[in-house]
Amino acid sequence: MEFAVKAQSGKFRKGTNLPYIIHPLGVAKILIEQECSEEIVIAGILHDTIEDTEITLEDIRKIFGDEVARIVHGASEPDKDGPWENRKRHTIEFLKTAPWDIFLVSLADKIDNIRAIREDYDKLGESLWSRFNRPKEKQRWYYQSLVEVFSRRIDEFPVRQLVEQFALDVQKVFWFFKVGKFPSDLTAPLEFLKELRRIRELTSGSDTPRHR
Active-site residue among 51, 67, 148, 191? 51
pLDDT of residue 20: 62
Active-site residue among 2, 38, 52, 54? 52
51 is catalytic: yes
pLDDT per 10-residue tile (average), the chain, 212 residues: 54 59 90 93 88 83 94 88 91 95 96 92 89 91 93 84 90 66 47 59 50 55
pLDDT of residue 18: 60
Contact 114, 120 (CB under 8 A): no
Q: DSSP assignment of 133-194, as one string?
A: SS-HHHHHHHHHHHHHHHHTTTTTSS-HHHHHHHHHHHHHHHH--TTSPPPS--HHHHHHHH
> Cβ atoms within 10 A of the Cβ of 52, count?
14
pLDDT of residue 194: 61
What is the Cα 124 distance to its own chain's centre? Answer: 21
Ordered by start, the domain boundaries in the chain are: 1-76, 83-205
Note the maximum CA span of the chain. 54
CA dihedral sign of residues 37, 41, 42, 46: positive
CA angle at 69 for the pair 66 and 53, rounded to the nearest 5°: 145
Beta-carbon-side half-sphere exposure of residue 80 (alpha carbons within 13 Å): 10
CATH code: domain 1-76 is 1.10.3210.10
**CA pair distance 188, 171, nearest whole angstrom:** 9
Smallest CA-to-CA distance from 80 within 50, 58, 117, 46 is with 50
* 3-class secondary-structure state, position 23: helix
